[in-house]
A and B are shown apart, each in its own frame.
Chain A
Amino acid sequence: MLRVPIKERLNWQEQAKEYGFNYHTMYGDKYWDESAYYQFSLEQIENGIEAPTEEIHQMCLEVVDKVVRDEQLMRRFCIPEKHWDFVRQSWLNGEPCLYSRLDFCYDGKGDAKLYENNADTPTSVYESGFWQWLWLKDNVDQGVLNPASDQFNSLQEKLVNRFSDLQYLTPGRELHFACCKDTDEDRGTVQYMEDCAKAAGLDTKFVFVEDIGIDAEQRFTNLNDEVITWMFKLYPWEFMFDEEFGDSLGQQNTRWLEPAWKSIISNKALLPMLWKMFPNHPNLLPSFFEDQLSQANFSAGIVKKPIFSREGANISILRGEEKIANTHGPYGEEGYIYQALHELPRYGDNFTLIGSWLVDDQAAGISIREDSSLVTQDMSRYLPHIIL
C-alpha cells in the first residue's frame, strides 16, 4: 500500500460541474483531492479488505439477530422502547437492505481493524462509485496511469443490480428518496442513489425530510399529498425515533431503506457486542461498554466514542493520562463505548482511513479518507486509489 503523488487532471473542475459533483470543495477546503492516489496489490485488496468485510457483515447480522430478541440488549443499544417492536419486526420479516460502509484501519500489512459500521446513512458513495472510477478511466485514457491499473470499485454496478432485486422484492411501489434541506453533500448523495435506481428501471420521486407529511391514517405523504409506500432516507433512524412523526413508525405499510434493523448495527454499541460474541477476532479491536471497563486492558490507549455519532464527532483519544485527540460535536447524551486505540497509519503528514463498501452482503469497493488528525471527520479529504 503506497501513497503516490500524481498530477491533477487539467479539466476536472469543469467536469465536476458537468456531472453535478457540487461538493468537491467545502468551506474553501479541498474535499476531493487528486494530487495523490493510493496503490494496493490485488492480494491486499482481496485478503486484506474484501474477505474481512464480508465476514464482518455476517457477524453484524448475528448481532442483530441476538439483540432484537433480548430486551436488555435493546436497552443497551438505546433503541427507544416504543420502537422495539418496529425494529424487531423489520428484522423478523426479512426486510432487505441496500448498502453499508465499514471503516477500517489498514496499512497493507497486518489485519484490517474495524473502527465502526456506517450501516444506516453512509455517504461518499458518489465519490466512490462514480467519481473515482472516472478519475481512473481518464488517467488511463490519457496514458498517465498504467493501462493494467484496476480499482476495487464495483459499487455502481452492484447498486444498480441491487435496486433491480429490491424492485422484485417490493413490487408495485414507487421509491421516494429523502434527505435534509441545506446540505449539498447529502442532496448529491441521494441524487446519485436515485440515478442508480432509475438505471435499474425503478419509478422514483424525491421529497425533503422536513417536507414529509402525514395523513389521518398515519401514512406519510409527499408535497403532492401522494402516499409514500417505500422510502430511501439519508437520515438517521435514531433521529426519526425521537421526532414527532416517530410515533407513527410501523403504523403504516411503508418499506424503508435502510430497514429499521440497521439502527442496531449503525450504533457504536455494536462494537462491544461484536467483541463479546467474537472475542479476539483478528479484524476486531477490544471494545467495552462503560460498566465493563474493569475487564479492559487498554495499554496502548483508549478511544471513547458516543453510542450515536456521525462523521467522527465527539470522539476522544487517551494515551496513558494524556488526551491526544478530542473532537467536538453535538452527540453523546446516550452514553459512550470504549475501544482499544489502534492508530491510523501515517503517510507523510496524513492519517489514512479505509472505508469498505457493501451492497447487501457483497463487498463492493473502497474509499480512502485522509486527515491531518487521528480522527477522520466530515471534512477529511477523499483520495482515489488503484490496484496494480
Chain B
Amino acid sequence: MKRSKFINLAAMRKLPAARPSFIVKPLVVAVSTAILSACSEPQDDAIVIESVDDCVTKTTLNEQQCVAVYQNAEAEAARTAPKYNSRQDCEEAFGYEGCRASSNGIFTPIMYGYLFGRMMDTNRPSSVYKYNQRGSSYRDSIITADGSVIGKAGQRNYKVSQSAYKPKATVSRTVSRGGFGAKASAKSSWGGSKSSWGG
C-alpha cells in the first residue's frame, strides 16, 4: 500500500468547535481553567508549599532537601513568571505588594509557593502565584506561571493533572515586535491574487 494506512478522521474535523474556551486575558497573563485534555491523563493530589518550614512540616523531606527544592522553585519562577513593564500593571493582576522589581525595570509577581506532589520534578518545581485581578472570577485562585488555574487558594490539596508539573516556557519582556513580515507585505502590495507565501 502506497498511502497512509489510517487517518483519524474525528481528529481532523474542525467543526463543531472542539471545546468551550474560558480564556480571559487580563494584560499579559492569560488565566484559564486547566483543561482536562485527555481523560486518561494521570491525576495527582498536590499541595501548595509556601516556604521551607511549610515543606519540612508537610512533607517527608528534611530541611536541607526543602531548601534545595525551594531554591529550584525560585529559579523556575524567575524564568517563567509573567513579566510586566510597571509595578502598577503587575499589581493589578497580583494585588497590592504582590509584585517585586527584578532586573532592568521588569516587575514580576512574587512566588506564592510551588506544587508538591508525587509526580513533581524536584529539580524543576512548578511555581504558583495568587491571582488577584479585581472583578475576575479567578480572583484568589492559585495559578501556575502559564496562567492555568489550579484552584481557589487555601485548599488542603488540589487535584492536578500531570501537565501541571510540566516545565513552563521561559517568559521574557518583548522590546519590539513586527521585525518579520515586511517583505511579504511589500510584495503583496505589488499585485492582485497573492494567496500564499509558500510555493
Contacts and interface: CB of A to CB of B under 8 A. Distances in A.
Interface of A: 17-20, 23, 26-27, 42, 45, 118, 121-123, 129-130, 133-134, 136, 150-157, 172, 174, 179-186, 189, 195, 199, 203, 208-217, 219, 221, 224-227, 229, 234-236, 239-240, 242-246, 248, 310-311, 328-331, 365, 378-379, 387
Contact of A18 (B13, B166, B196): B13
B199 A123 contact: yes
Interface of B: 1-9, 11-15, 28-30, 82-83, 104, 146, 166-167, 169-188, 190-191, 193-199
Interface of A is mostly: mixed
B7 A189 contact: no
B89 to A, nearest CB: 12
Contacts of B193: 26-27, 378-379
Contact of A227 (B12, B172, B198): B172
B190 A153 contact: no
Contact of A180 (B6, B15, B104, B184): B184
A157 B1 CA distance: 12
B179 A212 contact: yes
Q: Is the interface of B mostly helix, strand, loop or mixed?
A: loop
11 contacts: A18-B15, A23-B195, A185-B195, A211-B177, A212-B180, A214-B175, A216-B172, A217-B172, A221-B174, A225-B28, A365-B2
Contacts of A180: 181, 184, 197
B198 A189 contact: yes
Contacts of B174: 213-215, 221, 225
Contacts of B170: 219, 226-227, 229
B172 A150 contact: no
Contacts of A387: 2
Contacts of B14: 18-20
Contacts of A210: 177-178, 180-181, 185
B124 to A, nearest CB: 10
Q: Please provide the 9 A-B residue pairs with the shortest distance between their CB atoms, ordered closest to farther.
A: A20-B14, A245-B179, A123-B198, A213-B174, A244-B179, A239-B183, A215-B172, A210-B181, A330-B190
